[in-house]
Chain A
Amino acid sequence: MDPIAALEEIAASAPGLVAAAGTLDELESVESALLGRSSRLGEVRRAMGSLAPEERPRVGARLQEVTRIINELLAERREDLEKGEEEKRLRAEAIDMTLEAVTFPRGSLHLIQQTIDEVVDIFIGLGYLVADGPEAELAWYNFDALNTPPTHPARLESDTMYLDWGAPEDEVLLRVHTSPVQARWMESHEPPVFIVVPGRAYRNDTIDATHLPVFHQIEGLAVAEDITFSDLKGTLLHFAREFFGPTTTVRLRPHFFPFTEPSAELDVSCFSCSGSDPNCRVCGGSGYIELLGCGMVDPDVFEAVGYDPERVTGFAFGMGVERLAMVRHGIESMKHFIENDIRFLEQF
């Protein structure tokens, strides 16, 4: 047969053969059938030597061309088949990604801890240090140094838990607030003082939705030569905006605490309704949330710790951590905080 005609025939048949290969294995057979030694193309190649010299360039060129076409066809088909086979393989590996087949455990910090850390960080940003102190505390630091004389009702056993320990003149109790740390810190540090004191406090209260015998407070104290009431207001405004959002406003109402003068309670505008919802779950429709007690440090407190009230002024504030967490997270009962139900803990 005329080699050129043979090549044309091969070229014409190749696409059909290549396309018929349904797997990579079949394609390999097709490849050897088309290009292998014993293929018709192979025969043409081998017969090249016996062609007339003037025939050779023409047949040779065509041979190369057909070989190239077939290789292209094969490559193209191989790519298709490989893609298909990979698709099949991947399909076989299908994982239901909606199924939680592997879970990493996630623990949690107690919501009280998280709240404390968040508040503390705000004050660290304002240049405060973090102080700590004993929970079993001397009555002196808990009361006397804070201008609360022995005749004050807060010192009664109905309010404060006392411990059977120590010398009679050094009465020991479970601190009722974190404020004794103020006194301890000032005794051992020179002004200026900028501290926050997170910690536990104790009261002789039975457990109910709004009382715990053990709860947490964050105390703040700033003492320097020129601290004014406006500084107290500005500091608490800054805190409230960081904690509740940038549009929060605050309101100070006069109040009474033995260790500050003037004393105030701080209300913050309701972060939930901003005063627009008369039935608001957070503020009860008042538009404000009562948040904490504060005031200018009483001169008697400075005297008790050896500071000169003629030289320094300062402010102090104390907030209930449970309350902060409750208003922010819609928690209706303080009991959650000490039950340690995993279903509570893991939500935060």
Chain B
Amino acid sequence: MRVSLSWLKELVEIPDLEAEELAHIFDMIGHGVENVEVLEPQWTEVYVGKVLEVEPHPDADRIRVCRVETGRGPTQIICGAWNFEAGATVAVARPGAVLAGGLEIGERTIRGVESKGMICSERELGLGDDHTGILVLDGEPEIGSLFADHVELPDVVFDLDITSNRPDAMSILGIARDLAAYFRTEYRLPEVDLTTVPGDTSMRVDIDDPTGCRRFVAREIRKVSLGPAPLWMRHRLHKAGFRSISNVVDVTNYVMVELGHPLHAFDADRIEGDHLIIRRATEGEVLVTLDGEERSLHPDDLIIYDDVGPTSMSGTMGGERSEVSKATTRVLMEAASWDPPTIMFMSRRHKLLSEASIRFERGVDPNLSELANRRASALVAQLAGGEVLEGYVDEATGTFEPWTVDLSNRDVERLLGPGIESGEVREILQRLGMKVDGDDPLKVTVPTFRPDLSRPADLIEEIARIHGFDEFGATLPRGPAGGLSPEQARLRRLLHSLASIGLHQAIALPFVSVDSLTDLGWEGGEEDLLRVRNPLSAEESLLRPSLLPGLLKTLGYNLARGAGDVAIFEVGRVFSTDPDPDDPRLPAQPRRLGWAVVGEVGPRVLESPPLEADARISRAIWQYLARSLGITEYTIVPATSPGLHPWRTAEVRIEGQVVGHVGELSPRAARAYQIPRRVAVAELELEPLLRPVPLPQLRSPSPYPPVDFDLSFVVTIDRPVAELIKVTTQAAEGLVETARVFDEFKGEGLGETERAVAIRYRLRAQDHTLSNEEVAPVREAMIRAAETVGARLRGAQ
């Protein structure tokens, strides 16, 4: 909300402060300053003048010769405007003046006639766009006085961010009240001087929807003549950010800014009949609003009807049919208080956020309606020459009484700590417009314009705000025991482990399309996915059931920008349509870990060929991670998974439970994602990885020497080496310290599905030196064990 200092000063006394100091005060009482505009007159040497005589120019048709008094004796000025005659009060730039845009005014001769100065238009003064004629002043400003004084310049406009709990502060009055409390001065209401003519309005109003409308006040004003509003009002509205429309419409805006109560002016003659009904709309009804839009009404819309149908959208925007226009002579001035949620939903439904609707949706005090109406009617009478009928409409659907809140010293101290005197508490509340009785607890009567104050905590906020947040000390409480849970600590370790081998953590948006999943070989339909009812875009209305689409999209993004090697991982939630085991009211949303790696991985050595990512890299990443996390009880079992290479994928099982897959993207999926490379991928449930593992217990390194030997087995590709190592190790009855595959060979001398796997075993006893005699039968036992899983010693038949 744009608040000009000059307007504010009309309602409250403010000490002489720099704009910056005032801005700081606004910030510190909770009205955040978004902008400060210091307005200076864009002219020098402009005075109020009176046109004494106007005569035609002897030698030109379009311009006239004026004699103007500006307080130093009559001066002759040539003027090209025709919107005034002798007697008009005008703004005169004396010779030597500089106007908006740097125009310098001097003495000159126009077609043989001398001209000393200029009569100014609004545009020449930088006050507005009007250049159709010169600016004619109204009222009786003192001739020869500085023109700037009559448009309240210089001035400062503060653009304030009024929080949504303070509808009262969306007005000059409300801000004045807060400043009065802050500066410990007084604020005042504007003076309203309404003269009425006898007679009752013929208008009747029925509120058929008592929830929607709290109060409806309407005055009829006759013999109105529409025209421009006076300069002072136009200029105040201009500073407040409003466009000037006409005297009547400007008055409604003026009073809204001043008091915070929106108003609407009907052309009473364009209301059909003399009976207005306020009720919810009926499906299928249409209303053309002021902006010319035809709006289909919703059954929850609250509408004002006349004899032939909808004529105004309450609190949001008037109807075109009953709009005031140049022809209007009879005005029905409405000041109504509407139900906030009704207006909020209606204005948003029709995408009609107006200055009125934002005030109504926050709550406009029904006890202010009559004053606002009186103020506006008086101004219309004063500025548009109307007669206000004495009898007016005032329908209410309830009584709106102030309420009382008990505030004890203890309440204040519990929240704010010691140090605020009860005298100060009382004074702050009183200055904010509350009535304070009693001692402890204080009985605080809250006026109806502060709907935000219903509990002690609300009042305490007011006390803190006006006392000053800066005044409070800073103390540091400490919790009883802090720290990461074991799972949280393990997650950190997991993240750092992956980063330590070259993977970058990514954070992808969790929205996916069905196509992005179908490309991964997913066979379900949209109904199997969790859907956002009101998505950002139709293509991405589904929540991911897997991390892979996001990871692959990220790979594609980087490859498209010239990256050759990309290694990324993500930890995040995936979503399913199953109920969450922890809270069945929610969909399941387990956390997962996924990675996708393309291109060179591992340490890079200048002269060595690069190590390119493939399924083995996924396996290696898993193994590194498992070791970092101390997970020893896991198995890798060849498996298949949609979107993954059928022969390059394995399940990871921890204690028998499948926690996910590691492997390589299938070529089909890679093509679909336009990644023409091998992509190492994995997706694993996170929680099993974070489960604490038993603390490792020391196995003393044996001081005795080891025995190393190699065994080379021939085994088909579908018999996993892990199995081979497992059975041979078991056969050695605890003597195998390490078993490491150091060669894998396919080809000559071997069957098509066969390969030779060379394993180096290191055997060591904990308590003695192994002898050859001891090792030989163990070796034999290991070979026999290998045979049980389909392996034969290479070279043996």
Give the interface of A toward B (CB within 8 A): 99, 101-110, 112-113, 117, 120, 123-130, 134-138, 151, 153, 156-158, 161-167, 170, 172, 174, 192, 194, 200, 204-206, 213-214, 222, 224, 226-231, 233-235, 237-238, 251-256, 261-265, 296, 298-299, 313, 337-343, 345-346
Determine whether the beta carbon of B416 is less than 8 Å from that of A228. yes
Given contacts A106-B502, A228-B415, contact A256 B166 (CB under 8 A): yes
> Could you name 12 residue pairs across A and B whose Cβ atoms are closer than 8 Å?
A105-B604, A109-B496, A113-B507, A153-B164, A158-B348, A163-B530, A228-B475, A230-B474, A254-B29, A261-B455, A261-B460, A299-B457
Please indicate the chain B residues that have their CB under 8 angstroms from the CB of A265 in the complex: 32
Using A110-B506, A164-B532 as known contacts, list a sample of 16 further A-B pairs with CB atoms less than 8 Å apart, ordered by residue number in A.
Answer: A102-B604, A105-B567, A108-B499, A110-B504, A113-B505, A123-B482, A128-B479, A129-B482, A162-B532, A194-B482, A200-B573, A204-B534, A228-B415, A228-B417, A231-B475, A233-B474
Please indicate the chain B residues that have their CB under 8 angstroms from the CB of A214 in the complex: 509-510
A241 → chain B closest CB, angstroms = 11
In the assembled complex, B602 has its CB within 8 A of some CB on chain A:
yes
In the assembled complex, B543 has its CB within 8 A of some CB on chain A:
yes
Interface centre among B469, B504, B557 (most CB of A within 10 A): B504
Determine whether the beta carbon of B586 is less than 8 Å from that of A134. yes
Please indicate the chain A residues that have their CB under 8 angstroms from the CB of B483 in the complex: 124, 129
Determine whether the beta carbon of B557 is less than 8 Å from that of A339. yes
Please indicate the chain B residues that have their CB under 8 angstroms from the CB of A252 in the complex: 469-470, 472
Which B-chain residue is minimally distant from A164 (CB atoms)? B531
Given contacts A129-B482, A172-B587, A338-B508, contact A153 B361 (CB under 8 A): yes
Please indicate the chain A residues that have their CB under 8 angstroms from the CB of B458 in the complex: 261
In the assembled complex, B488 has its CB within 8 A of some CB on chain A:
yes
Interface centre among A112, A138, A194 (most CB of B within 10 A): A194
Please indicate the chain B residues that have their CB under 8 angstroms from the CB of A222 in the complex: 477, 479
A-B residue pairs, 9 tightest by C-beta: A105-B502, A194-B479, A127-B479, A254-B30, A256-B163, A262-B461, A151-B341, A234-B474, A107-B499
Determine whether the beta carbon of A345 is less than 8 Å from that of B505. yes
Interface centre among B455, B495, B509, B534 (most CB of A within 10 A): B534
Given contacts A107-B567, A253-B469, A262-B465, contact A172 B415 (CB under 8 A): no
- Which of B226-234, B575-583, B639-647 forms part of the interface with chain A? B575-583
Contact of A227 among B29, B477, B573, B577 (CB under 8 A): B477
Determine whether the beta carbon of A233 is less than 8 Å from that of B473. yes
Which A-chain residue is minimally distant from B452 (CB atoms)? A256
Determine whether the beta carbon of A107 is less than 8 Å from that of B500. yes
Contact count band on B: 35 or more
Please indicate the chain B residues that have their CB under 8 angstroms from the CB of A313 in the complex: 414-415
Determine whether the beta carbon of A138 is less than 8 Å from that of B417. no
Please indicate the chain A residues that have their CB under 8 angstroms from the CB of B460 in the complex: 261-262
Please indicate the chain B residues that have their CB under 8 angstroms from the CB of A151 in the complex: 340-341, 344-345
Contact of A251 among B415, B416, B470 (CB under 8 A): B470
Determine whether the beta carbon of A340 is less than 8 Å from that of B480. no
Please indicate the chain A residues that have their CB under 8 angstroms from the CB of B472 in the complex: 229-230, 233, 252
In the assembled complex, B240 has its CB within 8 A of some CB on chain A:
no
Which A-chain residue is minimally distant from B604 (CB atoms)? A103
Given contacts A228-B414, A230-B475, A233-B473, contact A127 B482 (CB under 8 A): yes
A141 → chain B closest CB, angstroms = 10
Given contacts A127-B481, A129-B483, A137-B586, contact A206 B506 (CB under 8 A): no
Determine whether the beta carbon of B501 is less than 8 Å from that of A107. yes
Interface centre among A163, A167, A339 (most CB of B within 10 A): A163
Complex: how many Å from CA A109 to CA B604? 21
Determine whether the beta carbon of A107 is less than 8 Å from that of B505. yes
- Which of B197-205, B290-298, B558-566, B630-638 forms part of the interface with chain A? B558-566
In the assembled complex, B326 has its CB within 8 A of some CB on chain A:
no
Determine whether the beta carbon of B457 is less than 8 Å from that of A130. no
Please indicate the chain A residues that have their CB under 8 angstroms from the CB of B501 in the complex: 105, 107
Please indicate the chain B residues that have their CB under 8 angstroms from the CB of A153 in the complex: 164, 344, 348, 361
Determine whether the beta carbon of A134 is less than 8 Å from that of B583. yes
Contact of A264 among B469, B531, B543 (CB under 8 A): B469
Determine whether the beta carbon of B492 is less than 8 Å from that of A117. yes
Which A-chain residue is minimally distant from B483 (CB atoms)? A124
Determine whether the beta carbon of A170 is less than 8 Å from that of B585. yes
Determine whether the beta carbon of B508 is less than 8 Å from that of A340. yes
A99 → chain B closest CB, angstroms = 7
Complex: how many Å from CA A126 to CA B535? 40
A148 → chain B closest CB, angstroms = 11
Determine whether the beta carbon of A134 is less than 8 Å from that of B457. no
Interface centre among B29, B469, B498, B572 (most CB of A within 10 A): B469
Determine whether the beta carbon of A337 is less than 8 Å from that of B507. yes
Determine whether the beta carbon of A254 is less than 8 Å from that of B464. yes
Complex: how many Å from CA A136 to CA B577? 11
Determine whether the beta carbon of B589 is less than 8 Å from that of A135. yes
Determine whether the beta carbon of A234 is less than 8 Å from that of B476. yes
Interface centre among A167, A224, A229, A346 (most CB of B within 10 A): A229
Which A-chain residue is minimally distant from B469 (CB atoms)? A252
Determine whether the beta carbon of B474 is less than 8 Å from that of A237. yes
Contact of A105 among B473, B484, B510, B603 (CB under 8 A): B603
Please indicate the chain A residues that have their CB under 8 angstroms from the CB of B345 in the complex: 151
Determine whether the beta carbon of B502 is less than 8 Å from that of A165. no
Which B-chain residue is minimally distant from A192 (CB atoms)? B480
Contact of A157 among B341, B499, B534, B558 (CB under 8 A): B534
Determine whether the beta carbon of A340 is less than 8 Å from that of B605. no
Complex: how many Å from CA A103 to CA B501? 12
Determine whether the beta carbon of B587 is less than 8 Å from that of A136. yes
Q: Which of B570-602 contact A (CB under 8 A)?
A: 572-573, 575, 577, 580, 582-583, 585-587, 589, 601-602
Determine whether the beta carbon of A130 is less than 8 Å from that of B488. yes
A165 → chain B closest CB, angstroms = 5
Which B-chain residue is minimally distant from A212 (CB atoms)? B509
Given contacts A161-B534, A163-B533, A228-B475, contact A194 B480 (CB under 8 A): yes
Determine whether the beta carbon of B507 is less than 8 Å from that of A340. yes
Please indicate the chain B residues that have their CB under 8 angstroms from the CB of A342 in the complex: 504, 558, 563, 566, 568
In the assembled complex, B175 has its CB within 8 A of some CB on chain A:
no
Determine whether the beta carbon of A101 is less than 8 Å from that of B605. yes
Please indicate the chain B residues that have their CB under 8 angstroms from the CB of A263 in the complex: 461
Determine whether the beta carbon of A261 is less than 8 Å from that of B461. yes
Interface string of B606-650 (1 = CB under 8 A from A): 110000000000000000000000000000000000000000000
Which A-chain residue is minimally distant from B461 (CB atoms)? A262
